[in-house]
Structure 1
Amino acid sequence: MQQVDWSDYQVFLALAQAGRTGDAAHLLGVDSTTVSRRLKRLEHALGAVLFERGRDGHQLTEAGETLFDEVSTMARAASRIEDSAEGDGGLGGTLRISVSEGFGSWFLARHLPDLADAHPSLTIDLVASSGFLNPSKREADIAVMLSRPRSGQLIARKLSDYALRLYATQDYIEQVGKPQTPLQLTEGHRLIGYVPELVYAPELVYLDELHPGLKATLRSSSINAQHRMIAQGAGLGVLPCFIGDSDPRLIQVLPHHMILRNFWLVTHADTNTLARVKTGKDWLLQTVAANRNVLLSGASPG
């Protein structure tokens, strides 16, 4: 077997995690051609086909699965060596945090500079998107999820409850009227919400909790797009209070009808005790605890 460059293994890991050449290239900060070239070089050196290529992206072959386990173990060992070598010199390396789009862009992003200032040698990736990266596949060091995972070598603890309510603009209320009961939402109101087929977590299904059978007719897979449509007066929609109450254009509708959800802090058992992961977890717990009123009522940050 030919000698293999460690960077080729890193490309292999990224592609196994991302599933697509373009996504792996984005994770690594290179172009897709580089990913393809290094994968071809690795497969040639090992004398094995590591991926099956299909319309759904790259899927690991049996040889690829075996290599993934071995290289993941090597990567974790390298992380521990890097972790212990940092010593008193401060945290280094990369900490990747995966969160939902709304929580990341409306809550976490405003506080993340505090963590960066405390650890200037640490590179922090905030992946805020529709869906979550998977700690089981080493796609993220920390994930904030909407439910407790039931499988995999994961460690989970509840981070916080958060509240959601129905919002609209004052202009919309003046033009269409303000519903006084959930039943009145069925009477001439346009509802804004998720595309049912694209909901990535059942916890994002809200409208039935206000009134059975409610359906959104203006829909988006993005909570930020939903917020924008609600704020433009296009209709009524459910938003987390940390989004809705931070926008002065919006008012609560049926304020006594609150929907409650949970955030869960999730890490992989093998990396849970790494210094940068532990630091990230502790910071998240402290930040959320200090701003719990924002998550539960939308009050100004403390």
Structure 2
Amino acid sequence: MYFTPTRDDGLRRLKDFIPAAGIKYAQGRNYDRGAYAHKSVSQLSPYIRRRTISEVEVLKSVLGAHSPQSTEKFIQEVFWRTYWKGWLELRPSVWSNYQGALAQAKHDVMSQGGLRQQWEAACYGTTGIDCFDHWGKELVETGYLHNHARMWFASIWVHTLELPWELGADFFMRNLLDGDPASNTLSWRWVCGLQTAGKTYLARADNIVKYTEGRFHPTRLASYARALGHPDHPKPMPLSVPNAIEPSKPTGILLHDDDFGLSHLLDAAPKNIHAAAYMPSLAGVSPWHVSDTVQSFVDG
């Protein structure tokens, strides 16, 4: 496995990335050089996603070596992920609505032969669009895609292949090591024009040629990205704030694969943890099988 599912590996990657987190990152972050060659980006997202390392310690480490000005682009990327998580937590119905639409899309795939063939071609990388097919296979093989490739892939899925966006978001959730209900769902909605009013994302051939350094020269891409609807966001709901830990009382820990970060709990109640349980949650992210690569990473 290219990503070792341990905190030590996450910290090693962070240490290796710090020298490149400033201007070098800002200048090179958009270039997708292919599987196992993503040296211009941090590749920390699988670890941040499961919170084996935290956003705070990543930013503290980066800002210990660079000025806020030189590392602004990297800071923004970390904050985007955190922003999406907060946005969805305040509007949980967006996730449940997505799951409902995905269930309907699965029914359509199972009952409509033409749609099923298109969906299978997109998932197995047999559409004939070289870059798209390559990225799909890279994702399945490695559990990772460069962020720019994710945007191109999503745009081609929605605007060129005209497949339901929910099926594409699900393909990512089943295969991405850093697949997150918030950043994944809302990013796909943004590509479709459902997240930000008047904003869609169109994958352009010249942009792909430039930022893959000529590895791909796609043709037959959509020339227009039509919004699939208008953003109609639910009003934010009040956050449920957990009770503070009382160190004097016996404490039990329920661990789940959204958050493996335990240091704050252990610091708060180091001598009074009497029970621990683990609740896996991968089964709830997709009506299909989550990839063995993702399952192995989460299982450690």
TM (norm. structure 2) is 0.25
- Structure with higher strand content: 1
Bigger radius of gyration among the two: 1
- Structure with higher helix content: 2
TM (norm. structure 1) is 0.25
